[in-house]
Homo-oligomer: A and B are copies of this chain.
Amino acid sequence: MSQLTEQPAEGPVPTSADVARLAGVSRATVSYVLNNNTAVRISDPTRRRVREAATELGYVPHAAARSLRAGHSRMVLLPTAHLPSTPLHHRFLHGLESGLRRLDYTVVQYGSIGLDPDDAARAWAELRPVAVIAPGSVPLAPQGIAVLRRSGAKAVITLGPQPVPGAHALITDQREVGASAVRHLLERGRHRIGVVMPAEAGPALFAGPRLAGARRAAAAGRARVEELPLHYTEESAAALAARWSTLGLDAVFAYDDAYAMLLMRALQDAGIQVPEDTAVVGADDSMLGRLLRPRLSSVRMELATVQPLADLVDRLVRHPGTEPERHDLLRARTVHRESS
């Protein structure tokens, strides 16, 4: 066990001045060594002496103090999802985080549930990030963007279905998800298409754009689209299934695989044959959908690879005057299985 653990934890917090004193060097030298600044020539023995002194004292650099001295921060604020994250979203965020870390940024996430967008922007600004990647669930207004820019953020980037004026936009265009599902159903000969609209607040963020995409694709194919509000409960699904025959639909795009599974079970329990009477398409292409009988057709989504995105964030930080850029991240295509 290191001697660190034998030091009293309640003593004063060691500073870079303490490290400099113990190593017999200047504070500037301590800073150069511990921040891996290679622009300054420092001998290997001196570097070693500084590192040993830091270890002995249990000193780690203070990110915020360093930012204050340097006049700029290396902190990137990432959104915290409002929802339990999907595997796709989770992989994406953690990939972006790793990519930014490789570029020597400190990435922190900040939960903003229950804050209005302007309050969220102020709370984020208090942390003085050099870049903010704001989630679509916190729709920044121009005022929030201005607060962030005034607090020193070099890049304000939104991640979501819609761009926001004055910010860079990483677009996950959910319309393509609905459009892909409907185009698939048209190819399968279906023309009276229900679109499930989740009543829950989280999914509602994506449901509107997915419906818009479904409508656009349906219009192009002279098909009819009907909105089907649905709570994520067995009762709501059973109620919808009970009036299914009155709706005159031959297909349904069910928002995602979870809602599709809920509705397909209710339809089957009500004696409606899938896909003979009604074709069903989900989205997410999850393992669970493949386990259903019939196996669920589903829209597969892919997000852009992340290292280029981390490089993009870095470029926008280094060129803060760049005109707002827009990058489309989402690709969608429907995987045909047995339910459609």
Contacts and interface: CB of A to CB of B under 8 A. Distances in A.
B291 A262 contact: yes
Contacts of A189: none
A307 B57 CA distance: 37
Contacts of A143: 1-2, 4-5
A232 B291 CA distance: 12
Interface in A242-299: 258, 261-262, 265, 287-288, 290-291
Given A4-B147, A84-B85, A106-B127, 8 more contacts: A9-B149, A57-B150, A58-B146, A58-B147, A83-B90, A84-B84, A84-B86, A108-B108
A42 interface: no
Interface string A200-242: 0000000000000000000000000000000010100000000
A114 interface: yes
Contacts of A308: none
25 contacts: A1-B143, A2-B143, A4-B146, A9-B146, A11-B150, A60-B147, A61-B126, A62-B126, A62-B128, A63-B64, A63-B126, A63-B127, A63-B128, A64-B64, A64-B67, A64-B68, A64-B127, A84-B86, A84-B90, A93-B111, A98-B113, A232-B287, A234-B290, A262-B287, A288-B288
Contacts of A80: 109
Given A109-B111, A110-B108, A113-B94, A5 B166 contact: yes
A1 B150 CA distance: 16
Interface residues of A, number: 70
A107 interface: yes
A205 to B, nearest CB: 15
Contacts of A320: 10
Contacts of A108: 108-110, 127
A234 B265 CA distance: 21
B150 A13 contact: yes
A27 interface: no
B60 A125 contact: yes
Contacts of A126: 60-63, 106
